[in-house]
Amino acid sequence: MVKNQEHSALTGWRRKLHDIIFEAETPAGKAFDVALLLLIVLSVLAVLIDSVPGIHIKYGKILFVAEWIFTILFSIEYILRIYTTFRPGKYIFSFYGIIDLLAILPSYLSLVFTGSHYLLVIRMLRLLRVFRVLKLARYVGASHVLAIAMKNSRHKIVVFLEVVVTMVVIMGSLMYLIEGPENGFKSIPLSIYWAIVTLTTVGYGDIAPQTIMGQALASVIMIIGYAIIAVPTGIISVEMAKAKDTPLSTQICPDCHFEYHDEDAVYCKKCGSKL
């Protein structure tokens, strides 16, 4: 109750702004969100093509201006989000709150550190909201299932990664002893890098064993890598089979920013606020 009163405490244009920025139920809110998604895509594309030498020489100045326009727009949006939310602290330290900040920081950082503006691609992360904004309940449900399956797999995945790391360190060191610097295995860290490239079946080929012993050990690593890829797959398949697969509401709790509510939920199941 108290919370709902607090909610209605935002009045006048501040209340209106809140509904436009945070909600996508009203036409204005919907338009705002779609425009925002477009702006994000454009701003990321601008960063990408600015890094191509030919384009940088020709259009570098325009892209520089565009980047600052995007940054200023996103900065205004960020300030408005803080200003119009009920509990600024909750928003600022929520997942998307942090991303919204990270999406503007690199521009300001680039005033001090050259090149850091390329980090603006982190704006991509803002696009993860796309399914919620476009009210695609099926996709919100699907991403929830994936998130649940990943979360429930985490203990096994950590154990698996511990074994993989132990394996590549020992295998890499053995290869360093067998092949040695004269065959491209210049140090143990580099040999470990090679072992990762091999175990994951990436296989660049910039470093490759030359001796018979080395090729024999490499064969063992490859076959192990080929077989144990089955382990994470098995882990996640099993969790995926368990996870309940239902469309979810695309609403976020206005108060605690909890994300996954059932389609018929009226109150947030975490904090009791009206959705």
Q: Tell me which H or E stretch contains 14.
A: helix 12-22
Give the H or E element holding residue 172: helix 137-179
The smaller minimum CB distance to a second copy, of residues 1 and 212, is found at 212
The rounded distance, in Å, linking the Cα atoms of 273 and 256 is 8
Whole-number minimum distance, CB 245 to a second copy, in Å? 8
Shortest Cβ 243–a second copy spacing (Å): 9
Q: How far is the CB of 263 from a second copy (least distance, A)?
A: 15
Q: Using CA atoms, how far apart are residues 87 and 34, in angstroms rounded to an integer?
A: 25
Structure tokens at 197: 């490239």
Nearer to a second copy among residue 180 and residue 272 (C-beta): 180
**Residue 34 or residue 256: which is nearer to a second copy going by CB?**
34
Whole-number Å distance between alpha carbons of 116 and 92: 23
Beta bridge partners of 248: 262
Report the 10 Å Cβ neighbour count for 123: 24
Torsion over CA: 246, 251, 253, 257 (sign): positive
* Closest CB to a second copy among residues 9, 158: 158
Is 106 or 254 the residue whose CB approaches a second copy more closely? 106
Shortest Å, Cβ 146 to a second copy? 6
* Shortest separation between residue 214's beta carbon and a second copy, angstroms: 10
In the complex with a second copy, the residue whose CB is nearer, 65 or 230, is 230
Nearest to 157 by CA among 243, 245, 229: 229
Closest distance of CB 120 from a second copy, Å: 8
| 26: amino acid identity, one letter | T
Residue 77 to residue 83: CA distance in whole angstroms: 10
